[in-house]
Amino acid sequence: MSDTTKPADEGRVPQRQQPAASRLDRFGGHALEHLKASAPILAVLIVIFAAIIYLNPAFLDPPVFLAFLRRAAPLMILAAGQVFVIVSGGFDLSVGSLITVTVVVAAAITEGDPDALIPVMMLVLLIGVLVGMVNGVVTTMLKVPSIITTLGMLLILRGAVFYWTGGSPTGALADNFRQFGREAFDLPVIGQLPYAAIIVIAVAWIATRLLHRTAFGHQLLATGGGARAAQLTGVNITRVRIIAFVLSALSAVIAGILLAGFAGVSAQVGQGYEFRAISAVVLGGAAIGGGRGSVVATVIGALTLEALFMLLNLLGLPQPLRESVQGVIIIGAVVYAGLRLQRSGG
Amino acid sequence: MSRVTSAAESPRPAGDEPLLKLAGISKSFREVEVLRDVVLECPPGEVHAIVGENGAGKSTLVKVVAGAHQPDRGTMTLDGRAVSFHHPRQAQAAGVSIIYQEFNLLTDRTVAQNIFLGREPTRGPLIDRRRLEEDTVALLEQLNVSGSISPRAKISDLSVAQQQIVEIAKALSFDAQILIMDEPTASLAPPEVEALFEIVRQLRERGMLIFYVSHRLKEIFALADRVTVLKDGDQVATTDIGSLTPDSIVRLMVGRELSDYFPELAAPDDIGEVRLRVRGGSNQHISDIDLELRAGEIVGLAGLEGSGRTEVAEAIFGVEPFETGTIELDGEQVSIRRPRQAVDHRIGFVTEDRKTQGLVLPRSVLENTLLPLRTLSGHDRREREAVHEVAEGSTLTMQLAERVDLRAASLDQEVRFLSGGNQQKVVFAKWLASDAWVLLFDEPTRGIDVGAKAGIHDLMRGLAKRGAAVLMVSSELPEVIGMSDRIVVMSHGRIAGELEAGASEADIMLLATGQSNGDGPDVRHPAEEVAAAKTAQEDQAAETAEATADSELSEVTSNPHDDQMGHDPGEVSG
């Protein structure tokens, strides 16, 4: 027995040593890793897609499918941010309110003025960084559990928006602000490729690199898996956790910008998104409590959740029950993850 | 695999049909085979010891018999009938009971309630309390303890030894024919051990088959009829106790003599310049610490529990930094207020508690090994990576894994699945990866079995040989003496004195208990003073004495959380 077995690692042979073959190996290795982490949720997604197609064959038409993707994009991005906080061992409940803030602030300030695009984008991103910093600093330095910190932030932001707008936000978003969530490139064959789809792919790719291929990502996973051990190995756990909250907040701002493209300006626009994002992360198999999680699986989890909502719609399930179904599946997903972990433990 | 066969494997006297037969029992966890083709025939009325290092498969074997694990291959025959247990309850009903190191008792309930939990005698819809107590007393009488344990006593009010007896009574209440005891004496005092032996012998007289899992050879020779030795999942021997000696058992277990236990000390030439110098270091736990660690040298830091040894290591590493005093590294004064800075200054800290402080359990061998490197900024990291002459993470990890002789299924295996010794090797690999020059070890071999201990000691010496300065905190005096080129003894948060290599346990104890002011190695002591020191020092010395008496096989401090025999279902030995 014994021996660290080499075959398991052939996928990571450094390029320098085997220039020709290794690039493929390396790619194959990583892709395989992500596939392994995503396999269960991918299977669920395929089943749900199959059911949708059975009920509504038009779903496969590129415009219909791409419209679905566009609608799913904000959640996919939000979940890709949320997973950073969850693998670090926390929660970020403030993201729904932050989406609302993004939309409402942008509308109030631009008042439909297209020239305001850049400053407004900068402003909302800055707000995101600030909110994330506050979440992170309060959680790490003041030692408030993140679920409380971000619940507090959720209420603070929600209250502020209501106070500021009196419950009915005014102003309008310029078309060039709405284009990200609404417009699409014209392409041959498939017709249109929404900007949103490209943004999702870009965000997911960056997030994947960040969590799984950088020193920061590994330190974050280590912090979530064993904060004390990570700290005693030299990880600045305060810093990496604060960064995780900032990333989550930034993902909320980006999700808000996309959502602004097709949702109206309202004081409720982001409500419920925090729970959907957490559900998506859980569906993607990340461990609540930290230490384990995959961006790719999380993004697929978000897509699955949106597909499920669509399926429930097609089945004629009343809207309010969506929440209940969501409740059932997140509990189910955690139960499943627990069983899977036990089994792999022998 | 060489199996020692002996007369004991031939049938016992007529009429003694085997009570339990195991044929070809094998078991794997996550593709690691932890038990290979175990064959056993045991008659009733036998005490059968199972020995082996941690990770040898002892625990897996008895759990298979007790129905807590299902074998992948092989058959089990009980009293002539083939059985296969899918749950411990089935085994219990069939007459196989197991007593784990951590008892399965509800501490807030009474003795009687525990013994008959879920099987309480009833009268109508109510529990028949009188019968419950009478039945309990009857069981306790069988064990001759009805005088000392009341059926109404709360478990939390009983001593550990008494709780163990309650567990045995519970087994009797199931009419157990086979009783498995996993390290039963780990937390018992000597008189309690003797009392337990009495009970075990009495159960044997009544025809019970007892499996006795223990590290303590002395006990095995006192109690067992036959012994099965496991090594890395192989059944190395099953034989009469009479045909073995403690030495031969150890040889079978570890495949080497105990005399190679410690690597050689440093030669004078090996020891170089002062790497780390602490001057007047104080914080709320420790005062006036003056300490020098030289390249190539292992300094043992001895002292009693609570004397401030760990606190010195923690202060150097910035966990709880010195409030006054200075730290110099290679002659330059540095400030270390956080572990982060210590890592920057090439200091590594192997903590006592691997599982919460040393390793990120749900992450892989690879990620744990590379973690300290990954906390460094680009330039620093490249500089240290350059030392290893390989840039790529998995190649580096592979190289380090080989260097520390790590046994893992793959580099992607989560470290929580490794045995204690292998986990400790990952911690080593981690600091090797970061190219630490000063290494602080806090109880580096606590909870690690003999064979792996020697490996850890070799690694420590190897680090020193390559020029690292090593500080080793240890409660085990044989380890301090065997490993240290210089011994610093602490007492009450201060350094009580310094001794040269080869100092005796008595020298160390004198300093540790404040009996001597310790002006270096020339500590002279009248014999009575030694005796006095030893008396004053009972707790500490008892542990050490025990270790020596048991051919150093027992784990001196058995910390249940650290123990390989724990009941973590995910534990893979090997």
Inter-CA distances, A313 with A262, A299, A319, B174, B493, Å: 19, 21, 7, 57, 70
Look at B363 and A13 and tell me if their CB atoms are within 8 Å.
no
For residue B282, what is the enclosing H or E element? strand B274-282
Quick one: tokens of A131?
Answer: 């909110």
pLDDT of residue B14: 40
Query: Can you give the pLDDT at residue B353?
Result: 85
Backbone angle region of A338, left / alpha / beta, with phi > 0 → left and psi within -120 to 50 → alpha: alpha
Q: Which of B371, B398, B412, B573 to mutate to test the interface with A (most CBs of A within 10 A)?
A: B371
Contact A84, A206 (CB under 8 A): no
Read off the pLDDT band of B255 (50, 70, 90).
low
Please state, in angstroms and rounded to a whole number, the distance separating the CA atoms of residues B132 and B122: 9
Buried b or exposed e, range A239-270, using 16+ CB within 10 angstroms = ebbbbbbbbbbbbbbbbbbbbbbebebbbebb
DSSP assignment, residue B243? Answer: G
Percent of chain A with pLDDT over 70: 88
Contacts of A128 by beta carbon, 8 Å cutoff, 6+ apart: A98, A102, A246, A249, A250, A252, A253
Mean per-residue pLDDT, A228-251:
95
3-class DSSP state for residue B47?
A: strand
Give the pLDDT of residue A4: 39
Q: What is the CA radius of gyration of chain A?
A: 21
Chain A partners within 8 Å of B33 (Cβ): 1
Q: Where is mean pLDDT largest: A232-241, B372-381, B494-503? A: A232-241
Q: How far is B338 from chain A (nearest CA, A)?
A: 8
pLDDT band at residue A20 under the 50/70/90 scheme:
very low
| CA quadruple B257, B258, B261, B266: dihedral sign | negative
Q: B278 at the A interface (CB within 8 A)?
A: no
B398 contacts A291? CB cut-off 8 A = no
- With CB atoms and an 8 Å threshold, state whether B360 touches A226: yes
Give the residue from chain B lying closest to A292, CA to CA.
B362
Confidence of residue B520 (pLDDT cuts 50, 70, 90): very low
Domains in chain B (CATH in brackets) are: 271-346+437-551 (3.40.50.300), 362-435 (no CATH)
Compare CB distances from A9 to B375, B390, B411 and report the shortest one's residue: B411
Q: List the structure tokens of B223.
A: 């109690």
Give the pLDDT score at A263.
Answer: 84
Report how far Cα A42 is from the mean position of its chain's Cα atoms: 16
Q: For residue A181, give both structure tokens.
A: 């969530």
B262 by Cβ neighbours in 10 Å (0-12 / 13-18 / 19+) ranks as middle
Rounded to whole angstroms, the Cα distance separating B424 from B453 reads: 10
The residue of B363, B397, B423, B440 whose CB has the most chain A CBs within 10 angstroms, and thus the best one to mutate to test that interface, is B363
User: Model ipTM?
Assistant: 0.80
Most B-contacting residue of A16, A232, A339, A343 (CB-CB within 10 A), to test interface: A232
Q: Enumerate residues 552 to 571 of chain B having a beta carbon within 8 A of any beta carbon in chain A.
A: 568-571
**Nearest residue of chain A to residue B348 (CA atoms):** A233
Window 199-238 of A: residues touching B by CB (8 A cutoff) are 215, 218-219, 221-222, 225-226, 228-236
**Shortest Cα–Cα distance, B467 to chain A (Å):** 21
Rounded average pLDDT over B131-159: 87
Q: Do B410 and A344 touch (CB under 8 A)?
A: no
Closest residue, chain B, to A229 (C-alpha):
B357
Which has the closest alpha carbon to B434: B357, B374, B372?
Answer: B372
CB contact under 8 A, B375 and A235: yes
What average pLDDT does the segment B247-266 reach?
A: 70
CA distance B229 to B244: 11
**Angle at the Cα of B98 from the Cα atoms of B95 and B104, rounded to 5 degrees:** 120
Cα distances (Å, whole numbers) of residue A264 to A101, A259, A267, B133, B418: 13, 9, 10, 73, 54
More confident position, A206 or B1: A206
CB contact under 8 A, B363 and A9: no
pLDDT at B534 over 70: no
The residues, ordered by sequence, that sit 6+ positions from A271 with a Cβ below 8 Å of its Cβ are A96, A97, A100, A158
Taking the C-alpha atoms of residue B429 and residue B366, their distance in angstroms, rounded to an integer, is 10
Sign of the torsion angle spanned by Cα atoms B490, B494, B496, B497? positive
Q: Among residues 17-56 of chain A, which lie with CB inside 8 Å of chain B?
A: 17
The most confident of the ranges A239-253, B110-124, B379-393, B527-541 is A239-253
Checking if the pLDDT of A13 tops 50, the result is no
Which of A60-64, B467-471, B526-530 is the most confident on average?
A: B467-471
Task: Quote the percentage of chain B above a pLDDT of 90.
Answer: 35
High-pLDDT (> 70) share of chain B, %: 84
Q: How many residues does chain A have?
A: 346
Cross-chain Cβ contact A226/B356 below 8 Å: yes
**Chain B residues touching residue A236 (CB < 8 angstroms):** 340, 375
Distance CA A123, CA A125 (A): 5
3-state secondary structure of B506: helix
Q: Quick check: B188 and B25 in contact, CB under 8 A?
A: no
Give dist(CA B186, CA B541) in Å, integer. Answer: 17
Instruction: With CA atoms as reference, report the closest residue to A260 among A171, A178, A162.
Output: A178
Q: Does the pLDDT of residue B161 top 90, yes or no?
A: no
The pLDDT value given to residue B561 = 41
Q: Which of B364, B367, B387, B363 is nearest to B375 (CA)?
A: B367
Euclidean distance between the first and final Cα of chain B, in Å? Answer: 16
- B372 token code pair: 């300290």
Residues 292-321 in A contacting B (C-alpha not used; CB under 8 Å): 292
Nearest chain B CA: its distance from A223 CA (Å): 8
Residue B404 in contact with partner chain A when CB distance is under 8 A: no
pLDDT digits 0-9 by tens, A41-96: 999 999 999 999 999 999 988 888 888 999 999 999 999 999 999 999 999 999 99
Task: Give the confidence band of A140 by pLDDT, cuts at 50, 70, 90.
Answer: very high
Q: Which is more confident, B15 or A251?
A: A251
CA separation for the pair B224, B235 (Å, rounded): 17
Least CA distance to A221: which residue of chain B?
Answer: B363
Residues in chain B: 574
Chain A interface includes B363 (CB < 8 A): yes
Element of type H or E holding B326: strand B324-329
Which of A39, A2, A222 shows the shortest CA–CA distance to B414?
A: A222
pLDDT of residue B54: 63
* Contact (CB<8Å) B430/A3: no
Q: Look over chain B and give the mean of its residue pLDDT values, rounded to a whole number.
A: 81
Residue A83 token pair: 């997973």
Instruction: Look at residue B144 and give its three-state secondary structure.
Output: coil
Residue B26's Cα: distance from chain center in Å? 25
In CATH terms, the fold of domain A41-50+58-341 is ABC transporter involved in vitamin B12 uptake, BtuC (1.10.3470)
Pairing of strands B347-350, B289-294: unpaired
Phi, psi of B77 (to 5 degrees): -120, 125
The DSSP symbol for B410 reads -
DSSP secondary structure string, B559-573? Answer: -GGG-TTS--TT---
Q: By CB neighbour count within 10 A (0-12 exposed, 13-18 middle, 19+ buried), where does B496 fall? A: buried
Confidence of residue B405 (pLDDT cuts 50, 70, 90): confident
Whole-number Cα distances in Å, B558 to A242, B39, B58, B253, B454: 39, 30, 17, 19, 18
Interface test with B, best of A2, A4, A140 (most B CBs within 10 A): A4
Chain A contact for B320 (CB, 8 A cutoff):
no
Q: Where are the alpha helices (DSSP H) in B210-353?
A: 217-223, 246-254, 309-317, 339-344
pLDDT tops 60 at residue A6: no
- The per-residue pLDDT for range A284-331, each reduced to its tens digit, is 989 888 999 999 999 999 999 999 999 998 998 888 888 888 889 888
Give the rounded percent of residues in chain A with a pLDDT score beyond 90.
55
Q: Tell me, what DSSP letter sits at residue B308? A: S
Mean pLDDT of B219-224: 89
Distance in angstroms between the alpha carbons of the first and the last residue of chain A: 17
DSSP assignments along B152-185, one per residue: TSBGGGS-HHHHHHHHHHHHHHTT-SEEEEESTT
Q: Which amino acid is at B294?
A: R
Ordered by start, the domain boundaries in chain A are 41-50+58-341
Strands B494-500 and B486-491: antiparallel
Tokens of B90: 């089935």
Residue of chain B minimizing CA distance to A14? B392
**In this structure, are residues B439 and B350 in contact, taking their beta carbons and an 8 Å threshold?**
yes
The predicted structure's pLDDT at residue B574: 32
Tell me what pLDDT residue B63 has.
92
The 3-state secondary structure of chain A, one letter per residue: CCCCCCHHHHHHCCCCCCHHHHHHHHHHHHHHHHHHHHHHHHHHHHHHHHHHHHHCHHHHCHHHHHHHHHHHHHHHHHHHHHHHHHHCCCCCCCHHHHHHHHHHHHHHHHCCCHHHHHHHHHHHHHHHHHHHHHHHHHHHCCCCCHHHHHHHHHHHHHHHHHHHHCCCCCCCCCHHHHHHHHCEEEECCCEEEEHHHHHHHHHHHHHHHHHHHCHHHHHHHHHHHCHHHHHCCCCCHHHHHHHHHHHHHHHHHHHHHHHHHHCCCCCCCCCCHHHHHHHHHHHCCCCCCCCCCCHHHHHHHHHHHHHHHHHHHHCCCCCCHHHHHHHHHHHHHHHHHHHHHHHHCC
When CB atoms are compared, the residue of B359, B408, B568 closest to A226 is B359
Q: Which two three-digit tokens encode residue A273?
A: 């998104």
Q: How confident is the model at residue B158 (pLDDT cuts 50, 70, 90)?
A: confident
- Give CA–CA dist B247/B267, Å, rounded: 30
Contact assignment for A221 to B361 by CB distance below 8 Å: no
Q: CA nearest B489: which of B242, B309, B232?
A: B309
A5, A6, A346 member nearest B30 (Cβ) = A346
